[in-house]
Amino acid sequence: MATQSERSLAAETPTQETFPEPLSPREARPSTSTGPIRAPLSPSGRSLRSGTPGTPRPGSTAGSTRRKAATLGADQLTRPGTSAGVSLPAVKSRNAAQTIAVMETGDLLAGEDKLENKRRFSFAEDSLDQVATAIREEKPELDWLQDCWKKVLVGTPASECKTLLMRSLHTWVEVYNRWQALGGWVPGQAPTYLDAYEFQEAVGVPMMKALEWVKLFDPGAHAKLQQTRAAAEYRKVKVSMPSFFTAAVFLSSSISKRQKIRFLLGVFDENDSRTFEVSEFTAMIASFFHGIACAFNLQSSLPKDARRQNLYKQLFERIVESAKTRSTSEEVHSMLSQGSVQFPAIEDWFLGLSGDPLSAPFALFLERFSVRGLDDDPEVFEDEERKFRLSHSAPVNPPMETAASLDSSFLRRSQMKVVRDLFYHCSSTRHFAISHAEAEQVVRTSIEPEFWIKMLSRSLEDLEAMRQDGVKFNIGVFFKKLCPRATSRHLRMFQTWLKELEQLEGLGASVEETQRLLDSFQYTLSRPVLPAAIRQELMADYGNAEMREMAARKMSILDTFDEGVMMSKDDFIFAICPKEYRPKVGNPIVEKVVRQFLTMELARLEELHSQKKMLFVGQAQSSRRPPLKSFLKQEVPESTWTLWNQAFDLLDVDGKDLLTMKKLVSSNQVPLDVCRFLRKAIVDDTVGEEGGFSKAAFLRKMVEICGFRCRAFS
């Protein structure tokens, strides 16, 4: 049975006007005229209009003749293949001259269009041309709405959208609650289309502001309303609320990327199952494209919904296939085989984490209208049941939000380390009444006088009074003293910042550890092999049980050997080999892959550390722009894929498709500390109590840290 959202999308949409199509934020300029906006021309193009000399088109042998086409009569032009004195018929002179000028200008604009496609986005490492090439390689016949995406990724939203750009998620949750209340909180009963009165009441703004948004989402009705101002015309307005939410939420830079996607998915999840089947997905994605088309004035250029149905279905199939390669859960695979996808898989696809080139335009759109380079997920440490989600049966509580949604009276993430260190120092010394200078000595950095006077000093004095009165308190009380207006969701946000700070410090330690391991492994590879004479000398102690036990203790792996089984000679030499030698000649395939693993894991951790560190940088230090991201991933080359498989098989000596700690160490191919690191870094939930990781888990980890797209696992 069709849901309310599906039925609404089958209904006839309001008539749309044709709007000028903007180019890019730098090139598009506000127009004071009522005529269409023209794309800016290159110097050559401007010379065509003015008749001034310009550079002839490459390959043209008659540049000056073409430049004069806009101002000179055709009787002064020569026909190709004739002498210069032969004139064209005067009767066609004006039309011919205009035609040539238009053709030449069109050629120049087409050239600029190609350059625009090849030019890298200002917010990402990729270009539209690269995205198009990657999609064509995957789906050469698919119409993925390239022209529409170009205008969305480089164009400017309609001026009426400006007031949407900084509205918080809290605002849109309140609007959503009022919208669902119109349907009595019965799933599927909230009206998809609202008239002007209903819309103004739902969005909670003055009618004049509401009508600005009506102009985008029902321009035909808005035009009639402006002419008559009759109450009946207000009732004839039809604003699609799902489409409006798409534009409002996705254009806001104060909402996290994941929360944007969760909001959109929740609007169409009428049974609150947090899963989608193909019918729900196609209804959602159709509303998505309608919403951004309205926001960017693209309604007339967007193909009819019937033509887009094939694209929608193929996108859903791509999400299903991506989820299969990225998940090891049998339950998830069972759901996918039945055509049902859980929301986390759809979220990852929209964010471009799957590497599917068809997801790149969506990921680029999210990147463009988010705080550049900062993946601020306010719910990263929240329990799954407490994370933001919409409901169709009960009002939604205000969610945790990004730091960008807070005003100046609240704490800033960059201040959290000072707050934490001060509180724990004062708690340990049982003395909170400290001076500004003492506080700076405690935190080993300068504290802004304004921050000290307006927030810290007063709050520390209050805590000192509470301590003297025998009142117990924790850092949450300190947060409330610092920000009296903070609600429970704000306090949870501050607690999240504390955990992020701990994570940042942990990442720093992980970077140092991985760098040490990589240096140590490379040093191991550079050492000479243990000479035969020294090996024979060491083997003289092999028969001594105490020496074998000492060797096992040195390796700290007594539990990796079966009780009663004597340590092998190779294991014994591996354990007591002098540091200036290697126990034996290693396998070059294993060594190459292990070195690649350590190198790429170090690069991944450094990038994560850098990204997390940027979140804690204050405004005074935030002049450095974060590095741009690429949302296109190459599929793992066949040679690399083969190399990874060979390395695993060489270590998996019994062919059980499982590498345990015991098997890794017994291979005598990898240093003990690197074995521990591999075991810790590669998480495999499918392995039981024995521990270790499967080949599939190993390959997935290699794909992740090397930035490739996953291949199908055989």
Pull the structure tokens for residue 603: 């690069």
In terms of Cα–Cα distance, which of 251, 361, 377, 373 is closest to 629? Answer: 373
Confidence (pTM):
0.75
Question: How far does CA 667 lie from the centroid of its chain?
Answer: 40
Q: What are the angstrom distances between the C-alpha of 178 and each of 64, 273, 566, 656?
A: 65, 22, 73, 58
DSSP label at residue 28: -
Q: What is the pLDDT of residues 513-547, one digit of tens each?
A: 999 999 999 998 998 988 988 888 888 888 788 88
Strand partners, 276: 341
Q: What is the pLDDT of residues 94-144, one digit of tens each?
A: 444 444 444 444 444 455 556 666 788 999 999 999 999 999 999 999 999
pLDDT under 70: residue ranges of the chain: 1-117, 372-376, 404, 554-566, 618-624, 688-690, 711-714
In terms of Cα–Cα distance, which of 16, 449, 473 is closest to 221? Answer: 16
Cβ contact 196:211 at 8 Å: yes
Strand partners, 342: 275
Which sign, positive or negative, has the C-alpha torsion 392, 395, 400, 406?
Answer: positive
**Degrees to nearest 5, angle at CA 29 with 156 and 133:** 45
Q: What is the pLDDT of residue 617?
A: 80
Q: What is the pLDDT of residue 67?
A: 33
Strand partners, 194: 239
Q: What is the pLDDT of residue 327?
A: 79
- The pair phi, psi for residue 213, each rounded to 5°, is -75, -35
- The pair phi, psi for residue 311, each rounded to 5°, is -60, -45
Q: What is the pLDDT of residues 558-576, one digit of tens each?
A: 444 444 456 778 878 888 8
Q: What is the pLDDT of residue 111?
A: 54
Pull the structure tokens for residue 356: 């599917």
DSSP 114-169: HHHHHSBPTTSS-BHHHHHHHHHHH-TT----HHHHHHHHHS---GGGGGGTT--H
